[in-house]
Amino acid sequence: MKRFLTTVLALSMSAMMFSCLQEKETEFEKNKKRDDQILSEYISANGIDATETTAGYYYKKDVENEDGAKLNDGDIIGIYYEMESLDGSFIGAHTEADGEPVIFQYDISRQTLAPLAINLAVGLSNVGETLTLYVPSYNAFGDFGYGQLFQAHTNMIIKVTFAKIYPEQEVDAIEDDMINAYISENELEGFVMKESGVYVKVVDEGDVSTDKSKNGNDVSFTYELFQLGEEDPFSKMESNPLTTTLGDTDNMGFLNIGLNDLHEDAEVEVIAPSSQAYQVTAQVIPKEIRGQYFEMGYLNSVVKPFEPILFKAKVTGIN
């Protein structure tokens, strides 16, 4: 009898767990079917000649460029875009009038740009082509909403132009211009360009009686990290120093460069391009939603791709 009751209880619990899983799956499927129906009816009612994809979004090419370069895995791509909800409410835009395109690095195996539909549409496009995407919410921002800009489960229309492919050298030059503009506009002095486009300023030499740091030393330090031009740090450690081994290939480049050749108690400021910091992070558009998108757990890094960082540190120990 005891074994029978245990078996019945186990089966009952399994049934309850299965039921709960089914309910969650059904809720997603319900939202998906709703979005699919809304988009299908919108396309039909407005006589739009668009192609439906297996992923669920529709697209039409407004500007074709058969001679344009094919976009490939690993390419650094610049885009312009205009984004609105399906009912015509403006969400965001970045056009040629705003300057350089928004940049992201395409990775065919994972999402490197949000909303997802643009990432998916890369494979349909050549440089110079403009597509209009009709996007269900599950290919946009899903259950994420941003104040009055757009609600959760918002279906969208996104016009995107794949403007160019950036060589790495051009991205480096753009970021170097950003760094020099920041230094000039803020009338900063004392920054010296080291290797790999990293700029270093020794604010305080510290204890000059100690040996300077070099590759192989374990260096302890406190720090603040900023996206260049922003007032609040995205990361900091002010009371419990971190320790790293200088020259370690696992270190970000700006650490190996910026913490080298310093005395104990030295204070240093380092401005580094993304190639020596957080280059491969996902892009999010519109940009203003990035912080909240990260806080809600939809993004694994708040750091913007292909933009410099500012590192402020104090050396607390060298071994």
Q: pLDDT tens, position by position, for the chain (319 residues)?
A: 333 333 333 334 444 443 444 455 667 788 999 999 999 999 999 999 999 999 999 999 999 999 999 999 999 999 999 999 999 999 999 999 999 999 999 998 888 999 999 999 999 999 999 999 999 999 999 999 999 999 999 999 999 999 999 999 999 999 999 999 999 999 999 999 999 999 999 999 999 999 999 999 999 999 999 999 999 999 999 989 999 999 999 999 999 999 999 999 999 999 999 999 987 799 999 999 999 999 999 998 999 999 999 999 999 999 9
Q: Same domain, yes or no, for 175 and 152?
A: no
Q: Same domain, yes or no, for 153 and 270?
A: no
Q: Same domain, yes or no, for 278 and 179?
A: yes
Tell me which of 136, 166, 196 is where a domain ends. 166
User: How far is residue 198's CA from residue 207's CA, in Å, rounded to a whole number?
Assistant: 24
Tell me which of 166, 186, 220 is where a domain ends. 166
Q: Same domain, yes or no, for 176 and 131?
A: no
Looking at this protein, which amino acid is placed at residue 51? T
Bridge-based pairing state of the strands 130-135 and 58-63:
antiparallel
Strands of the chain, DSSP E: 51-52, 58-63, 76-85, 90-94, 102-105, 113-114, 130-135, 156-166, 192-193, 199-204, 218-227, 235-245, 267-272, 283-284, 309-318
pLDDT at site 240 = 92
CATH code of the domain in which 195 resides: 3.10.50.40
DSSP 283-317: EESSGGGHHHHHHTTS-S--SPTT--EEEEEEEEE
pLDDT at site 218 = 97
Q: Same domain, yes or no, for 70 and 180?
A: no
pLDDT at site 1 = 36
CA dihedral 117, 119, 125, 131 (to 10 degrees): 40
Residue 2 lies in a domain: no
Q: Which residues of 52-88 are buried (b: 16+ CB within 10 A; e: fewer)?
A: ebeebbbbeeeeeeeebeebeeebbbbbbbbbbbbee
Residues in the chain: 319
Tell me which of 134, 150, 166 is where a domain ends. 166
**What ranges in 186-260 are assigned the alpha helix state H?**
253-258
Q: Same domain, yes or no, for 148 and 216?
A: no
Q: Same domain, yes or no, for 248 and 224?
A: yes
Residue 116 lies in a domain: yes
**CB of 148 closer than 8 Å to CB of 162:** no
Q: Same domain, yes or no, for 177 and 130?
A: no
pLDDT at site 111 = 87
Q: What global pTM score does this model have?
A: 0.85
Residue 49 lies in a domain: yes
Residue 71 lies in a domain: yes
Residue 36 lies in a domain: yes
Number of compact structural domains in the chain: 2
pLDDT at site 5 = 31
Residue 8 lies in a domain: no
Q: Same domain, yes or no, for 209 and 132?
A: no
Question: Which domain does 222 fall in, by range?
Answer: 169-318
The vertex-37 CA angle with 34 and 42, nearest 5°, equals 125
Q: How far is CA 309 from the centre of its chain?
A: 14
Residue 149 lies in a domain: yes
Q: Same domain, yes or no, for 141 and 181?
A: no
Q: Same domain, yes or no, for 139 and 250?
A: no
Residue 73 lies in a domain: yes
Q: Same domain, yes or no, for 181 and 225?
A: yes
